[in-house]
Amino acid sequence: MAVETADGESVEDPVAYFLQDMTYHGKTDRTREAYERVLRRFEAFLRDPDANPVDARKRVEAASHRDCMAWIHSLRGSDVADSTVATYASYLHRFYAYMTQVGAFDANPMTLVMEEMDERIDTNPSRREISLAEMRRFLRGVHHPLDHAVLVTLLKTGMRVGELCNLDLRDVSLADDTPLGAVSSRAQLDGRGPSVYVSAEPTVGEVTNGEERTASNKRKRSTVVPVDGELESVLARWLAVRPDVQSPADPLFVSTSGSWGRRLTPDMVHHIVERHAGDVGWHRAGGDAEENVTPHYFRHFFTTHLRDRTGDRGIVKYLRGDVGGDIIDTYTHNWGDRVRETYEEHIYSVY
């Protein structure tokens, strides 16, 4: 049985129609294939009397919000991670929203489902998937102390590239025998153990700590992020060979090439990441955001893995700097009991 769009076009296969329109809208083959896998899986669920005994053999255009909820519930009961459940739901939601918009369907049954879901939606569900084992192999191939330190810092903290570039030595607190020179760490790091302070203050073009900045920090509030033993060792190795700096702010990460001793810029970090990602086939010139690994990918990797491991979205949001006001004050007050303990228990090892 066909349905008709608002223009009177007959649609025998709504999924195929949607996928064809995705092609017209310029979506990549990888993205369309990901959507097709999920949408066909939902179709199979609707037609399977064992999976959906109440109303089997229903077509997608006739699915109710209860059918959608039943499918989401079946995913939760399988070996699918919470983030993947949310991704699948976002695919289905977009499909129904589009088909409703073109007039082929009367309503979007996923609207209510999305409002009630606890799982966080991945804003880029077709992004390249890299396992922890693959990430470890990738890091083993990076030998330059600066490049290695930059990559591990991104992976272990989930900070944005601009936030990494804006780190000064005063923003770091490590073990007593780590060579931090005469620089005193911020008061906010006192008693926190090895940690990094990610300030919300730096803004591109403005002076912070005596230096005009080339990047902005986008945090809602400043955040103290724990440093585990692996990252501490990596930073200590970098600091042992870090060149003399060319700034009164004493930046943590400085160039070891053409801009010797000067603060890294976001462009420099992008070059570091893309060069090493290209060596393993994770980045190519002209590739799209779903295919290429860029510095922001590591923020996605950190968020996905730590959220799935902890089940505590609040702490992950705190570490990412995505919350403000009373929420972040709660985690700041209970930092030792909540943040560091949760982080150290669940942060992945990269070696």
Segment 16-28 mean pLDDT? 87
The answer to whether residues 149 and 238 touch, using CB atoms and an 8 Å cutoff, is yes
Check pLDDT > 50 for residue 71: yes
Residue range 202-231: average pLDDT? 91
- pLDDT band for position 181 (cuts 50, 70, 90): low
Residue 181, sorted as left (phi over 0), alpha (psi -120 to 50) or beta, turns out to be: left
Six token digits for residue 89: 């739901």
Sheet strand arrangement including 172-173: 172-173, 195-198, 223-226
With a CB cutoff of 8 Å and minimum separation 6, the contacts of 214 are: 165, 204, 263, 265, 266
| DSSP secondary structure letter of residue 166 | T
* Stretch among 91-100, 122-131, 251-260 having the lowest mean pLDDT: 122-131
pLDDT at 329 over 70: no
Q: What is the pLDDT of residue 267?
A: 93
Say if residue 180's pLDDT is above 70.
no
For residue 50, give Cα distances in angstroms to 92, 220, 232, 270, 292. Answer: 21, 48, 52, 50, 40
What are residue 4's DSSP bridge partners? 10
Average pLDDT (294-313) is 85
pLDDT at res. 330: 56
Model confidence at 324: pLDDT above 80: no
> Which structural domains are found in the chain, ordered by start?
3-121 (1.10.150.130), 132-346 (1.10.443.10)
Higher pLDDT, 181 or 163: 163
Region 53-80 average pLDDT = 78
| Between residues 184 and 237, the one the model is more confident about | 237
pLDDT reported for residue 112: 81
Which tokens hold the place of 328?
């972040």
Would you place residue 52 in the very low, low, confident or very high pLDDT band (cuts 50, 70, 90)?
A: low
How confident is the model over 107-119, as a mean pLDDT?
77
Angle between helix axes 65-76 and 29-47 (nearest 10 degrees) is 100
Q: What percent of the chain has pLDDT over 90?
A: 43
Q: What is the pLDDT of residue 226?
A: 93
pLDDT digits 0-9 by tens, 260-302: 999 999 999 999 999 999 999 998 887 776 778 999 999 989 9
Quick one: which of 253, 267, 288 has its CA closest to 152?
253
Q: What single-letter amino acid sits at 136?
A: R
Q: Which residue has the higher pLDDT, 252 or 287?
A: 252
**pLDDT band for position 111 (cuts 50, 70, 90):** confident
Tell me the average pLDDT of the chain: 85
DSSP letters spanning 80-136? --HHHHHHHHHHHHHHHHHHHHTTSSS--THHHHHHH--SPPPSSTTSPP--HHHHH
